[in-house]
Structure 1
């Protein structure tokens, strides 16, 4: 991110990953910051004047866009600054720096089985309640030509089960060690404003060290693309793929809208065709929506976790899952028995908790749903995958999302010409329609990657 002289800055929204339950008692937005989008016709003088109107202390531009981030004294009310900026003719919109929170349900480490890929009824599950990955692998096991963006906490790019599938930027020169992002030549070889972005980017610190210091991003990455048939750990839906670490969430799982926007735009410009977004759960942001629309224009599918509060997204929107853009796919979580996943101690029965559920059921934390806003379900409860230095079982719609992203990557390996809209249609039309999801997600079912591959 380049600092401008007095160019109004975008308010940062703090976004946090979607594998844990949302914490309701956190603050709503970052004090002393606002996100602003100027009209293309706005002059530098108008931008400077707008910044002065709220007594800006620091202003920065996000990439090469009309988005700006403005900082001001924390004693000034954010709402007042937004109103002042919004009233200016050169401003298209201004927003607070909304805060979002992690939605993951933490578990203790346990022996995990990859039931989401092949469910034989193990551990009390229902045989066949899986995405039919084994049948899909008869068609393709993936391709190292498919680039997948993991917008998250980073990835342990030295993990034994992931290292071979980490994206290496062909436009940068890693002259010393191609497996170490610190070994670059100190030159922005590809001219994209990111020096030595050899293995993704850290949008928090603006460095090329996008290593996971949380575990969430590495877990997600393993489901999409842990190396197959290497005699180690687990296998991803794609045995071969290229995973781009796009770190905008920190060690606590929090990040800003500014950094999320940069990550999305960067990935779209890089050539990623699908983005995994296992985060969210907060307020509407026009700035974030614009970034998703930018990705749509670039042909990028934006797959996002529906949330883990057990609520109906049709009634209580959560973002970015609720953005109505043609490239957005919102994912609910299913359990071993092909029910909507519940995280509470009494939720293992997996009641679908649709419109007629009791208040007790509704109070049980579980996967969000929405017959008009959530597109399909995928395995998301008790999912075993890679974490930094090892493996672990986690639950949440964060874990369901990479199952869908992995399926998309397999589809692209089979047919690289598929557009984002076509990919979405294939996913929706090939689900296993199930009673638990007929009235709770748009497609009425749970992901079936083998059926998706067989549809063309």
Structure 2
């Protein structure tokens, strides 16, 4: 008998547990956000059943018949407090600096579940017309910031800096917060970036099918600049650019004469570039060219954005080393460089014409670094590196030349979003 009684007791407990679970599950919020809306009611507009925070509409006290009818007409399955543990006294708190503050009264915020997702819009519209409702919105989901599948993304501290040694042991978070931006857009193919440079390897695997303009070559600088701005992301290989999916216009400035430079700038604009990257300078440093300036004026008149590198002359020429086109002024966004610790890079030129800074690699004045402080990006030969190879001589990929395309990529994301 004892054994049978024990079995009977366990059986009752199991049945009660299953019943309780089933009851709780039917009323628990956030099981299926696609069928739910979130609503904040005015005080006492809806009153839950005694000692409960959830129930069916007919179990709640809803003084206004019109509001109750809206809930019944929508065949609402359950109403549940969004924060069931929240008590009225929890509204009062002390801030970290000692001030007494009043928080949101979550006792009046509910999750309401409908039978079908497609019923939410009409239900939401009906709720918004009710005077008892403070706000009503669709329930949704969150997800982690988009982390692309690119093989070497963990080396790209400019995009997502986690402070690890492969990123030069910089400061975690000293980046452009690219992953959060990519949750909104990774760029649109209708937006074009013009790369005015010494050419680029247009058939690099991270540019496949996205480059128009001049014929390609194997110039290291232009290839690296283009990769920083717009290497294809989330394709399991190589690196990600700041804007993955935008088009790239290759504008080879040829001999880099003023005539060639002016022609390349105007050509990029005429070919439809929304943003034109200029990681170059007139030489000698400080020389002004009216012809080149007028080419940029044409870009400005066409309502296009020109981005220019600020220059790398701080260590050799000190403050206010004037470099053009960066210092031309109106219509040109001028970019200085920061390190993986979010401080000014030792080489980055200064001057009143600077607009913003962006990650450019290297270290601050007085610091020593290594290759991991550089910018890791595309290089000729379908490769990726921290260095550019010019005839067997290696040069660090760092400088305002590589800060500028970061800004160009960000501008492309903004254009894509708008």
Counterparts of 2:318 and 2:357, CA distance in 1: 14
- Per-residue deviation at 1:314? 7.1
- Aligned residue for 1:338, secondary structure, equals coil
Using CA pairs below 8 Å that are at least 6 residues apart, which structure has the higher relative contact order? 1
C-alpha distance after superposition, 1:334-377 (max 9, x if no partner):
001011112xxxxxxxxxxxxxxxxxxxxxxx11122x211111
Structure 1 runs not aligned, ≥5 long: 1-109, 167-198, 202-208, 343-365, 416-456
Is 1:313–1:374's contact at 8 Å kept on the other side of the alignment? no
- Per-residue deviation at 1:408? 0.4
Confirm whether residue 414 of structure 1 aligns to residue 394 of structure 2. Answer: no
Confirm whether residue 200 of structure 1 aligns to residue 192 of structure 2. Answer: no
C-alpha distance after superposition, 1:15-64 (max 9, x if no partner):
xxxxxxxxxxxxxxxxxxxxxxxxxxxxxxxxxxxxxxxxxxxxxxxxxx
Q: Which has the higher helix share?
A: 2
Counterparts of 1:142 and 1:384, CA distance in 2: 21
- Per-residue deviation at 1:212? 3.0
- Aligned residue for 1:411, secondary structure, equals helix
- Aligned residue for 1:263, secondary structure, equals helix
Confirm whether residue 380 of structure 1 aligns to residue 360 of structure 2. Answer: yes
Normalising to structure 1: TM-score of the pair? Answer: 0.50
Query: Equivalent residue for 1:453?
Result: none
Is 1:112–1:392's contact at 8 Å kept on the other side of the alignment? no
- Aligned residue for 2:262, secondary structure, equals helix
Is 1:153–1:213's contact at 8 Å kept on the other side of the alignment? no
Counterparts of 1:160 and 1:316, CA distance in 2: 38
Counterparts of 1:291 and 1:127, CA distance in 2: 40
Is 1:314–1:373's contact at 8 Å kept on the other side of the alignment? no
- Per-residue deviation at 1:118? 0.4
- Per-residue deviation at 1:216? 0.5
- Aligned residue for 2:236, secondary structure, equals coil
Is 1:310–1:367's contact at 8 Å kept on the other side of the alignment? yes
1:101-180 pair list within 5 angstroms:
113-123=155-165, 124-166=169-211
Change in 2 beyond 3 A, CA 1:408/1:227? same
Is 2:229–2:241's contact at 8 Å kept on the other side of the alignment? yes
1:38-437 pair list within 5 angstroms:
113-123=155-165, 124-166=169-211, 199-201=212-214, 209=215, 211-249=216-254, 255-281=256-282, 282=285, 283-310=287-314, 315-325=320-330, 327-342=331-346, 366-370=347-351, 372-381=352-361, 382-389=374-381, 390-393=383-386, 394-415=397-418
- Aligned residue for 2:267, secondary structure, equals helix
- Per-residue deviation at 1:239? 1.8
Counterparts of 1:406 and 1:232, CA distance in 2: 19
Counterparts of 1:335 and 1:294, CA distance in 2: 33
Structure 2 runs not aligned, ≥5 long: 1-151, 362-373, 387-396
Counterparts of 1:313 and 1:321, CA distance in 2: 16
Number of matched residues?
237
Is 1:115–1:122's contact at 8 Å kept on the other side of the alignment? no
